[in-house]
């Protein structure tokens, strides 16, 4: 279905060690993580906290396993801090990513975000930007996108539960008010399904501007429990709200078709944070790899 020269498969280290809650999978080493990614049949990875900070060391460890870096999460604070502070951190981040061979960077707005707060109910207390701050956000994203473009990188924006860009309306507003030449979308199936947005509709709507994909599934019964019991995003993760594609309720087949129809080129990254003591990361990586092979031929 996909041309393997155009679409490549990666997996995120968050299933081995969770950077948002490092006690989850603290026992898993970097070496084990990248070895198991390769063993499961993935050729790409994002960057986790346990990865060596030294370029040469990281490159060598990855080359030994034929794994490439394809992205790393960047936290922007455009709505709460002076623009220059975010730009400075962003430049350092994308220079490292570029040196590692990545072509895209995934940016999330973390100003006012509640995603990392252990006790804050994820469905009730999400912050909503006013018009002035929306302008600040979109203008800042355009500026960061231009900086990325100058060095040959593509900025993709990661919509995310608990952040100021979570819902379909917020994604629309961000996309409509940013320059398509500078700001693209990081399409994360799990975060859309989690907040009740149809990932297929977003794939169809923004196909051409999707430049990076996170393949995440949800366990609807756990998401329901999070909602009913007013739990936080991180409490939900611990309970198993997310899982690998094919193991939850999202129908990925039409989503893959929609991406194929718009000639998607780039990485599709399995990103399914859950407790590694319950969901063995290698076992789930193999499961995800088999499901993607079955549905896409990749």
Ligand X SMILES: O=C1C[C@@H](O)[C@H](O)[C@@H](O)C1=O
The maximal CA–CA distance of the chain, rounded, in angstroms, is: 49
The encoded tokens of residue 161 equal: 């539960």
- Beta pairing class for 154-158 and 104-109: parallel
The reply to whether 159 sits near ligand X by the rule CB under 6 A is: no
**Which of 188, 217, 247, 273 is close enough to bind Co ion by CB under 5 A?**
188
DSSP-assigned letter for residue 14 = G
Closest residue by Cα to residue 125 from 78, 182, 163: 163
The reply to whether 109 sits near ligand X by the rule CB under 6 A is: no
3-state SS of 209-272 is HEEEEEECEECHHHHHHHHHCCCCHHHHHHHCCEECCCCCCCCHHHHHHHHHHCCCCEEEEECC
Using the contact rule CB under 6 A, the part of the chain among 12-20, 36-44, 145-153, 252-260 near ligand X is 12-20
Per-position x/- string for 206-235, each x denoting binding to Co ion as judged by CB under 5 A, each - no binding: --------x---------------------
Nearer to ligand X, 36 or 273 (CB): 273
Length of the chain: 298
d(CA 144, CA 156): 10
The reply to whether 239 sits near ligand X by the rule CB under 6 A is: no
3-state DSSP call for residue 173?
helix
**Which of 188, 193, 211, 247 is close enough to bind ligand X by CB under 6 A?**
188
**Which of 214, 238, 239, 289 is close enough to bind ligand X by CB under 6 A?**
214
**Binder of residue 73, out of Co ion, ligand X, none (CB less than 5 to 8 A by kind):** ligand X
Residue 214 beta carbon to Co ion: minimum distance, rounded to whole angstroms: 4
By CB under 6 A, the count of residues binding ligand X is 12
CA distances from 275 to 21, 28, 63, 220, 240 (A): 10, 12, 28, 17, 7
The reply to whether 238 sits near Co ion by the rule CB under 5 A is: no
The reply to whether 217 sits near ligand X by the rule CB under 6 A is: no
**Binder of residue 239, out of ligand X, Co ion, none (CB less than 5 to 8 A by kind):** none
Nearer to ligand X, 158 or 219 (CB): 158
Closest residue by Cα to residue 19 from 50, 58, 55: 50
The reply to whether 87 sits near ligand X by the rule CB under 6 A is: no
Q: Which residues bind ligand X (CB under 6 A)?
A: 14, 19-20, 73, 115, 158, 160, 188, 191, 214, 271, 273
Q: Which residues bind Co ion (CB under 5 A)?
A: 188, 214, 271
């Amino acid at each position: 279905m996909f041309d393997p020269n155009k679409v490549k498969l990666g997996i995120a280290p968050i299933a081995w060690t969770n950077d948002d809650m490092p006690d989850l999978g603290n026992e898993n080493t970097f070496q084990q993580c990248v070895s198991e990614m390769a063993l499961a049949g993935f050729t790409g990875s994002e960057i986790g906290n346990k990865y060596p900070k030294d370029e040469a060391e990281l490159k060598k460890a990855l080359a030994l396993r034929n794994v490439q870096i394809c992205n790393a999460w960047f936290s922007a604070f455009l709505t709460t801090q002076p623009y220059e502070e975010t730009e400075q951190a962003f430049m350092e981040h994308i220079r490292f990513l570029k040196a590692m061979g990545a072509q895209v960077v995934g940016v999330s707005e973390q100003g006012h975000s509640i995603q990392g707060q252990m006790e804050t109910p994820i469905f009730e207390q999400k912050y909503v930007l006013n018009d002035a701050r929306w302008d600040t956000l979109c203008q800042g994203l355009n500026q960061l996108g231009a900086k990325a473009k100058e060095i040959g990188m593509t900025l993709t924006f990661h919509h995310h539960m608990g952040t100021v860009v979570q819902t379909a309306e917020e994604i629309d507003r961000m996309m409509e008010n940013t320059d398509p030449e500078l700001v693209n979308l990081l399409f994360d199936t799990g975060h859309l399904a989690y907040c009740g947005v149809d990932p297929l509709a977003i794939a169809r709507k923004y196909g051409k501007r999707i430049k990076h994909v996170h393949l995440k599934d949800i366990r609807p019964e756990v998401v329901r429990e999070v909602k009913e019991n007013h739990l936080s995003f991180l409490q939900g993760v611990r309970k198993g709200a997310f899982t690998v594609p094919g193991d939850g309720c999202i129908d990925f087949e039409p989503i893959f078709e929609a991406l194929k129809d718009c000639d998607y080129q780039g990485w599709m990254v399995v990103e399914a944070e859950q407790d590694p003591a319950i969901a063995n990361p290698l076992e789930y990586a193999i499961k995800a790899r088999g499901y993607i092979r079955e549905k896409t031929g990749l």
